[in-house]
Amino acid sequence: MDTFLGRYRNLIVLAAILFAQIVGLAVQVRRPTDQGDTRLIRIWAISAVAPLEKAVVHSQEWVQGLWTNYAYLRGVRRENRELRAEIQQMKIQDARLTEDANMARRVQALLAFKEQYVDSTIAAQVIGTSGSEQSRVLYIDKGSNDGIKPDMAVITPTGIVGKIVQTAPEWSQVLPINDQFSGVGAALKDSRLQGILKGTPSGATTLQYIMSDEKVVPGEQVITSGGDRIFPKGLPVGTVATVAPGKDLFLNIRVIPSSRLDQLEEVLVVTHITEKMPDTKDLGPLRASDILAERLPSVPNKADVDAAGNAKPAGATPAPGTTPAAGAAGAVATTPHPPAGVTTRPATTALGTTKPAAGVANKPAAPGATTANKPAGAATTPRTTAAGAATPTPKPKPAGSAASATSPQTNANGANETASPVKKVIVNNDDTTPAPKKPKPAPEPTPSTTEPPPSTPPSGAQPQP
């Protein structure tokens, strides 16, 4: 027996060590939790070296900053000139893009689309990697003490980086998009084809699940699709590098990430994403599409039509808990009932300043909305001046309207506002949904059946918040 143990001692020890590790592996695989059974020992190990690494990284950054910001300033003047020229070019480009963006936001508002906005971010420093080729996780110097939680998106100004997978009080672990266990909902920017961006063992990123009969060209931009509910839609992901036929009828699309994942130093952790309607205030002058939207027939709200079929005058029966809109000079500004599903802009100040009009319902179709600002069907609403001299302003009524109520519109000086499609400055209610602008069609003489709303504030009254 002793001879046997002595002869095979090395192999027995090797087998024992391997057996112990295999049992350990089996235990970890058998009881998978969110963070794994080894979470504690990992946290201890990483927490032990994280302060040291933070100190080294930050001191290195300080020395680099000292050199680049104070000592090494060669070529700064030339670079400054070039940047100024670039700013001029970008201003020109910005003007065009702003127009396009405004139009897109108007269309989104018309269709009641909601957008996702990155609301708040935390800047973090990359302090370490996994040290393994099989795993490309990163460590950052911000953790749960800073409000970071798992599944938060990590981005840079140039593109997405990954997501948080594990947090400790002082550090967090990031799973980058080129890790082979990563998956990001992505879409091709031009063709709008959607797929999943996955990493490979070699650290490349591929866009998968795009059918092979689709046409994808190298150079096309890839953006986030928002389908993974981690990254907001539309963030840059990368550029298509190569396209080749893959297995199972799918294309093999290799993507070069927009962020330099091998040169990350500072990243932004998205801590809050809001989903809201696009902001359509200050979008510029009216357009033909807005006028067309105004002329669409609308359906009268039954609650606002009395038994005789006449529309109740606007503001006559304000809903509980609502407040009439008031401009800076106390002008009440309300808008006609829009077509179903189309949101309306809330109010207009007489002074031409964009201010929120409190209590104005922008969503007529929403239950419990302000009935004072929701005249039925063709019943238009009055616009009164600060002086309260509401002069009926003729407005066209859609065909088939139950009542012939019109909206008197006067300006702050008491002069009548002619109902013309002249652009007025629009006031949006911040707590309600922004809406497309409503033009005033050509005047049409109508009887002055509309009374000014009883809730019109006196002259000089401040708008209620």
Partner 1 sequence: MSTRVAPFRGSLTSREQVSVFEFSWLAIILIPLVAVLIQVFIPVLIPVKLWFVPIIDLPFLVTIFFATARRNPISGSLTGCFIGLLQDLFAGYNHPLGMYGIALTIVGYLASSLGVKIDVENPGSRFLITFGFFVVEEGVYYGVAHGMLRQALQWSWSHTAISALANAIIGIFVFRFLDRFKQR
Where on the chain is the footprint of partner 1 (CB under 8 A)?
A: 9-10, 13-14, 17-18, 21-22, 24-25, 28-29, 36, 38, 41-42, 45-46, 49, 53, 56-57, 60, 64, 126-135, 137, 165-166, 173, 175, 179-181, 200-203, 262-263, 265
Q: Which two tokens stand for residue 182?
A: 């990563």
- The nearest distance, CB 47 to partner 1, in angstroms, is 11
Backbone torsions φ then ψ of 299, nearest 5 degrees: -100, 130
- The nearest distance, CB 161 to partner 1, in angstroms, is 14
Neighbours of 106 (CB within 10 A): 23
Helix (H) or strand (E) holding 76: helix 76-110
- The nearest distance, CB 60 to partner 1, in angstroms, is 6
Q: Are 233 and 185 in contact (CB under 8 A)?
A: no
Helix (H, G, I), strand (E, B) or coil at 309: coil
- The nearest distance, CB 362 to partner 1, in angstroms, is 45
* Beta-carbon contacts of residue 446 (< 8 Å; ≥ 6 apart): 392, 394, 395, 397, 404, 406
Closer residue to partner 1 (CB): 126 or 270:
126
Closer residue to partner 1 (CB): 162 or 436:
162
DSSP letter string, 203-252: S-EEEE--BTTS---TT-EEEE-STTSSSPTT-EEEEEEEEEE-STTBEE
Q: Are 319 and 364 in contact (CB under 8 A)?
A: no
Kindly report each contact of residues 415-419 with a partner whose C-beta sits within 8 Å and lies 24 or more positions away, as own/partner.
Answer: 415/385, 416/391, 417/383, 417/393, 418/393, 418/443, 419/393, 419/394, 419/395, 419/443
Closer residue to partner 1 (CB): 245 or 321:
245
Closer residue to partner 1 (CB): 8 or 113:
8
Closer residue to partner 1 (CB): 52 or 97:
52
Closer residue to partner 1 (CB): 89 or 263:
263
- The nearest distance, CB 130 to partner 1, in angstroms, is 5
- The nearest distance, CB 202 to partner 1, in angstroms, is 5
